[in-house]
């Protein structure tokens, strides 16, 4: 396939470009950052185009190059470092422009990177808890913040696109993305102490496993628009999930069936079933029992 990958200079984009290249696909990579003069900033064989995705003309120009799939990763990845209006405008308009161009140019497949934050409890201004755990795609949606709202509306843009055209869309909701360079800083404190609470109930996703899921989504024959969580199957710290949930939240969060004792607070069963995705990495590959980086990682 010839695939357009947005956000290619970001942490998820880089590993995704590599995964698509390794699978033999031809990649047009795009980001808002300038191309290197010697074109040595992208892996060999990758075409790079600088583009601003809030500009509809840029999106049309990218998709007009003729692609079999659009993999839309680019976004401001949290509501915390920019003004609310900037986060909302950037993330929603980029998704709108790209899906609009993909529909008009008859692109068959769109992979939309959404977020675990869509149900709303991650960046809420008025805190609330998940209704049940592990959280899955049936969980009620009540986003408050501009980032989760834009991701939620982005999923609705996918619904609208499949309703008005033959495009097939998959929205993936990754958990907190970990790369070899940030496992220790991000997850170390939680590994050391389960009382370091995170609204995503000790879940995370390895960046390479996420790239595998994105690749499978782009190659998938699924029709319509499907939404799927992507989280590593174990929890940060590898603890007994039922026990830590009760210990830290009492009866406030309903405990549902677990497929393993050290289960994640987010279920990716749907992605495993519909995409045949098999996550292969764990925080244990990078961190010791004290949450310190292993010498080899
Ligand atoms: N990092 C996480 O923990 C996490 C978790 C869940 C979902 N996500 C989602 O995964 C995706 C990738 O996140 P990341 O961690 O790689 O972020 P990142 O900031 O490392 O990369 C995002 C890239 O998108 C580009 N970009 C943003 N807006 C753009 C625009 N308007 N036009 C062109 N390029 C633009 C940026 O330049 C950047 O290179 C995002 O959609 C994010 O919302 C991230």
pLDDT tens for the chain, 297 residues: list them. 999 999 999 999 999 999 999 999 999 999 999 987 665 678 888 999 999 999 999 999 999 989 999 999 999 999 999 999 999 999 999 999 999 999 999 999 999 999 999 999 999 999 999 999 999 999 999 999 999 999 999 999 999 999 999 999 999 999 999 999 999 999 999 999 989 888 899 999 999 999 999 999 999 999 999 999 999 999 999 999 999 999 999 999 999 999 999 999 999 999 999 999 999 999 999 999 999 999 875
Per-residue pLDDT, 40: 63
- Size (the chain), residues: 297
Q: Whose CA is nearest to atom 28 of ligand 1?
A: 75
Q: Which atom of ligand 1 is nearest to the CA of 8?
A: 39
**What residues contact 94, with CB distance under 8 A and at least 6 apart?**
6, 53, 54, 59, 72, 74, 75
CB of 147 closer than 8 Å to CB of 121: no
Residue 283's nearest CA partner among 267, 271, 268, 294 is 294
Residue 127 carries which DSSP code? -
Range of the domain at 75: 2-285
CB-CB neighbours of 66 under 10 Å: 10
DSSP H or E segment with residue 69:
strand 69-72
C-alpha 221/C-alpha 4 separation (Å) is: 18
User: What's the Cα-to-Cα distance from 105 to each of 15, 59, 69, 166, 170, rounded to whole Å?
Assistant: 27, 11, 11, 11, 18
Q: With respect to residue 293, please indicate whether it lies within any of the assigned structural domains.
A: no
Counting the structural domains of the chain, the total is 1
> In angstroms, how far is CA 240 from the centroid of its own chain?
26
Residue 26 carries which DSSP code? E
Question: In the chain, which ranges are E strands?
Answer: 2-6, 26-31, 47-50, 69-72, 109-113, 132-133, 168-174, 177-178, 205-206, 225-230, 254-255
Residue 228's nearest CA partner among 112, 122, 98 is 112
Q: Which atom of ligand 1 is nearest to the CA of 113?
A: 41
Q: With respect to residue 155, please indicate whether it lies within any of the assigned structural domains.
A: yes
- Using the mean position of ligand 1's atoms as its centre, give its distance from the Cα of residue 23 in Å: 22
- CATH number of the domain to which 140 belongs: 3.40.50.720
- Testing ligand 1's pocket by substitution, the residue of 7, 9, 91, 208 carrying the most ligand atoms inside 8 A of its CB is 7
Residue 147 burial by CB count (10 A; 0-12/13-18/19+): exposed, middle or buried? buried
Is the pTM here over 0.85, yes or no? yes
Per-residue pLDDT, 226: 98
For 99, the token pair is 């899906």
- Using the mean position of ligand 1's atoms as its centre, give its distance from the Cα of residue 225 in Å: 21
Cis peptide upstream of residue 134 (ω within 30 degrees of 0) = yes
For 227, the token pair is 């939404």
CB 177 less than 6 A from any atom of ligand 1: yes
Q: With respect to residue 292, please indicate whether it lies within any of the assigned structural domains.
A: no
For 174, the token pair is 């990754």
Q: With respect to residue 290, please indicate whether it lies within any of the assigned structural domains.
A: no
- Testing ligand 1's pocket by substitution, the residue of 4, 9, 12 carrying the most ligand atoms inside 8 A of its CB is 12
For 156, the token pair is 């609705």
Q: With respect to residue 297, please indicate whether it lies within any of the assigned structural domains.
A: no
- Testing ligand 1's pocket by substitution, the residue of 52, 54, 61, 75 carrying the most ligand atoms inside 8 A of its CB is 75
Per-residue pLDDT, 38: 62
CB 82 less than 6 A from any atom of ligand 1: no
Q: With respect to residue 291, please indicate whether it lies within any of the assigned structural domains.
A: no
C-alpha 75/C-alpha 118 separation (Å) is: 14
Q: Which atom of ligand 1 is nearest to the CA of 147?
A: 43
Q: With respect to residue 296, please indicate whether it lies within any of the assigned structural domains.
A: no
Q: Phi and psi of 174, rounded to 5°? A: -70, 150
Q: Which atom of ligand 1 is nearest to the CA of 117?
A: 6
Q: With respect to residue 294, please indicate whether it lies within any of the assigned structural domains.
A: no
Residue 179's nearest CA partner among 200, 157, 208, 201 is 208
CB 33 less than 6 A from any atom of ligand 1: yes
Residue 168 carries which DSSP code? E
């Amino acid at each position: 396939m010839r695939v357009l990958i947005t956000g290619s200079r970001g942490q998820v984009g880089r590993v995704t470009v590599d995964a698509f290249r390794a699978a033999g696909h031809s990649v047009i990579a795009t980001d808002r950052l300038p191309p290197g003069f010697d074109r040595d900033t992208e892996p060999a064989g990758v075409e790079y185009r600088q583009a601003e995705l809030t500009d509809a003309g840029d999106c049309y120009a990218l998709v007009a190059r003729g692609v079999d799939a659009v993999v839309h990763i680019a976004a401001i990845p949290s509501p915390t470092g920019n003004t609310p209006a900037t986060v909302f405008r950037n993330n929603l308009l980029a998704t709108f422009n790209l899906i609009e161009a993909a529909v008009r140019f008859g692109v068959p497949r769109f992979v939309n990177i959404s977020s675990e934050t869509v149900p709303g409890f991650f960046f809420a201004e008025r805190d609330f808890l998940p209704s049940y755990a592990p959280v899955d795609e049936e969980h009620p949606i009540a986003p408050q913040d501009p980032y989760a709202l834009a991701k939620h509306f982005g999923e609705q843009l996918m619904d609208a696109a499949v309703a008005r055209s033959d495009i097939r869309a998959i929205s993936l909701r990754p958990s907190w993305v970990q790369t070899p360079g940030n496992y220790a800083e991000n997850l170390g404190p939680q590994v050391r102490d389960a009382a370091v609470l995170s609204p995503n109930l000790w879940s995370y996703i390895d960046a390479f496993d996420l790239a595998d899921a994105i690749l499978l989504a782009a190659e998938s024959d699924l029709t319509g628009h499907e939404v799927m969580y992507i989280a590593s199957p174990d929890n940060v710290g590898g603890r007994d999930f039922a026990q830590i949930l009760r210990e830290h939240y009492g009866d406030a969060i309903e405990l549902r069936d677990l497929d393993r004792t050290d289960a994640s607070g987010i279920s990716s069963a749907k992605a495993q079933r519909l995409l045949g995705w098999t996550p292969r990495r764990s925080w244990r590959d990078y961190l010791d029992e004290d949450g310190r980086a292993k010498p080899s990682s």
